[in-house]
Amino acid sequence: MDDQFDDKFHDECGVFAIYGHPEAAKLAYLGLYAQQHRGQESAGIVSGNGRKIYTHKGMGHVSEVFTEGVLKGLRGWLAIGHTRYSTAGDTVLLNAQPLTVGCNKGLISVAHNGNLTNARQLRKHLEETGSIFQTTSDTEVIVHLLARSAKKNFQEALEEALLQVEGAYSLVLLHGDQLYVVRDPRGFRPLAIGLLPRPENAPSGSHSSNGEAYVFASETCAFDLIGARYWGEVNPGEIVRVDSKGIHTSRFAAETPHAFCIFEHVYFSRPDSQVFGRSVHRSREGLGRRLAREAPADADLVVPVPDSGVAAAIGYSAESGLPFKFALIRNHYVGRTFIEPEQNIRDFGVKLKLNPVRSLLEGQRVVLVDDSIVRGTTSRKIVRIMREGGAREVHVRISCPPTIASCFYGIDTPTQKELIGWNHSVEDIRQYIGADSLAYLSLDGLRQSVGDSEGEFCTACYTGNYPTKLATIQVETSNRR
Ligand code: SF4
């Protein structure tokens, strides 16, 4: 659906990798399919057998990019895959990943979830000293740095390259018959490890040492679909190498305070995933419970903004004792384009997506639970739709603090000036969206609900306190009242 009606931060990318399975590409396809919510602009898979690689990439959803015939052609027993929503670089096929480059280190294919905050400076320097870039994506910087390294050993060269980049990166790389999986020292983006039993009749050459294939994914919902079991996390600052002898783990960077993206738990990840080792659904229900304690409402029922507000609304309902009702129905079949009638219909885009259930709302005082207010435009339309649907009062409750700053770690966000929370008070926002009352969860409440007792999460979009130096970006101080 057109983004103009979707006032949310946008998902970034999803990665997947598998080593040691005769159906590597098909399983990568399913792994990407399960992670479609992390990027809808392009998808790609590179597979290999240690001697040759096979590639297919395209614009659109995973189901549009891959056909049975295409997957048959992606041979081999190791594969990496990517779904993309561009956070850096243009939206063109050239920037679709995995990115494959031939250089003095051989053929390297890489897929990246995250955003490098010093990519512009590094690229400028590389170009001034002779590098020729194929794409406008920040990921290519890593490959050029790798190619420039004087180290002969591939892993040492990769480590040298990684020590020069800053920001967020969860990477999967295919190099010959080896798979490398990397997470940045702060661990902004998730990256989970799973094990998948191999078929008994698997041909030789598709081996892994313990009779199981290794799988890696941004989110564990990818493991559930292919029947893999969750084994753990790639730790921040770690390189995992998988070869015929098994899995080898080592650190490439010194211990650094962690900065797991808290918004993965608030909104981005699927509720059926384990992210940073914790159930997303559990976090979201906890956010709702805490919100009910911090911001109770004199109301008759709790209604979620589907789908992302559902788990928090369940928590709010359980804690408050108010009944939970699906009184706002989402149309799951809205395509990315549609034909609008010539006669102007107010709130057409939002109505196409969400419709109120009049029989549940008529005369009721409603607590409307959502996960964020970005610009405020969509929330305003939803409140209006609820009233038109018969609600007597609409009390909006948001399961995180006001969003006051943009993200530079792989999430597509509007500029800071476009964020309604940056320079408006909660009361201003309430008036703008037309709610009877408005309350947000506190930062403490958010941290506690995701189990952040050690301060291991990034909360920069709520505080403006970025966990790294931002080389290229001027961050403005909030003048929020
Ligand atoms: Fe996540 Fe916000 Fe930090 Fe970006 S700024 S990594 S969205 S918590």
Alpha carbon distances (Å) from 406 to 113, 211, 374, 411, 459: 17, 45, 10, 9, 11
Report residues whose beta carbon is within 6 angstroms of any ligand 1 atom: 188, 261-263, 407, 409, 411, 458-461
Q: Which residue has the tokens 């740095």?
A: 145
- What pLDDT was estimated at residue 13? 92
Over residues 66-87, the mean pLDDT reads 92
Instruction: Write the residue with the smallest CA distance to atom 6 of ligand 1.
Output: 261
Taking 50 as the threshold, does the pLDDT of residue 135 lie above it? yes
- What pLDDT was estimated at residue 10? 60
For the beta carbon of residue 82, count every other beta carbon within 10 angstroms.
32
Report how far residue 194's alpha carbon sits from residue 217's, in angstroms, rounded to the nearest whole number. 8
Residue 262 has φ and ψ, to the nearest 5°, of: -70, -25
Taking 80 as the threshold, does the pLDDT of residue 442 lie above it? yes
- What pLDDT was estimated at residue 414? 84
8 A C-beta contact, residue 456 and residue 278: no
Taking 60 as the threshold, does the pLDDT of residue 478 lie above it? no
Phi-psi region of 114 (alpha: psi -120 to 50; beta: other; left: phi over 0): left
- What pLDDT was estimated at residue 95? 84
Between 421 and 331, whose confidence is greater?
Answer: 421
| Cross-sheet strand order for the sheet of 365-370 | 301-304, 365-370, 393-398, 437-440
Most confident of 205-209, 284-288, 331-335, 336-340: 284-288
CATH dotted code for 13-256: 3.60.20.10
- What pLDDT was estimated at residue 137? 87
Taking 90 as the threshold, does the pLDDT of residue 6 lie above it? no
Q: Is residue 221 annotated as part of the catalytic site, yes or no?
A: no
Average pLDDT of the chain, as a whole number: 91
Q: How far is the CA of 111 from the centre of ligand 1 (A)?
A: 20
- What pLDDT was estimated at residue 260? 98
Q: How far is the CA of 466 from the centre of ligand 1 (A)?
A: 9
Report how far residue 3's alpha carbon sits from residue 305's, in angstroms, rounded to the nearest whole number. 17
- What pLDDT was estimated at residue 203? 62
Q: How far is the CA of 187 from the centre of ligand 1 (A)?
A: 12
Of 28-32, 184-188, 416-420, the least confident: 416-420
- What pLDDT was estimated at residue 263? 94
Q: Which residue has the tokens 């512009």?
A: 120
Q: Which residues pair with 18 in a beta bridge?
A: 79, 215
Query: 3.90.1300.10, 3.40.50.300, 3.40.50.2020, 3.40.1350.10: which CATH number matches 284-480?
Result: 3.40.50.2020
Which residues have C-beta within 8 Å of that of residue 133, sequence separation ≥ 6? Answer: 123, 126, 127, 140, 144
Residue type, 446: L
8 A C-beta contact, residue 424 and residue 182: no
Q: Please report, in angstroms and rounded to a whole number, the separation of the first and last CA atoms in the chain.
A: 34
The residue extents of the domains of the chain are 13-256, 284-480
* Predicted structure pTM score: 0.92
Taking 60 as the threshold, does the pLDDT of residue 474 lie above it? no
- What pLDDT was estimated at residue 5? 42
Ligand 1 pocket test: pick from 188, 265, 407 the residue with the most ligand atoms within 8 Å of its Cβ: 407
Q: Which atom of ligand 1 is nearest to the CA of 268?
A: 7
Ligand 1 pocket test: pick from 38, 443, 461, 473 the residue with the most ligand atoms within 8 Å of its Cβ: 461
Per annotation, catalytic residue among 13, 261, 407, 461? 13
Beta strands per DSSP E along 269-334: 274-275, 278-279, 301-304, 328-330
Phi-psi region of 396 (alpha: psi -120 to 50; beta: other; left: phi over 0): beta
Taking 50 as the threshold, does the pLDDT of residue 366 lie above it? yes
Report how far residue 308's alpha carbon sits from residue 314's, in angstroms, rounded to the nearest whole number. 11
Report how far residue 315's alpha carbon sits from residue 443's, in angstroms, rounded to the nearest whole number. 18
Between 108 and 342, whose confidence is greater?
Answer: 108
pLDDT band at 89 (very low <50, low <70, confident <90, very high): low
* Helix intervals (H) in 310-409: 310-320, 348-353, 358-361, 377-388
Over residues 393-410, the mean pLDDT reads 96
Of 24-33, 414-423, 441-450, the least confident: 414-423
pLDDT band at 396 (very low <50, low <70, confident <90, very high): very high
DSSP 207-227: --TTSEEEEEESSTHHHHHHT
Of 20-34, 156-170, 323-337, 397-411, the least confident: 323-337
Q: Which of 257, 254, 199, 204 is nearest to 227 (CA)?
A: 199
pLDDT band at 377 (very low <50, low <70, confident <90, very high): very high
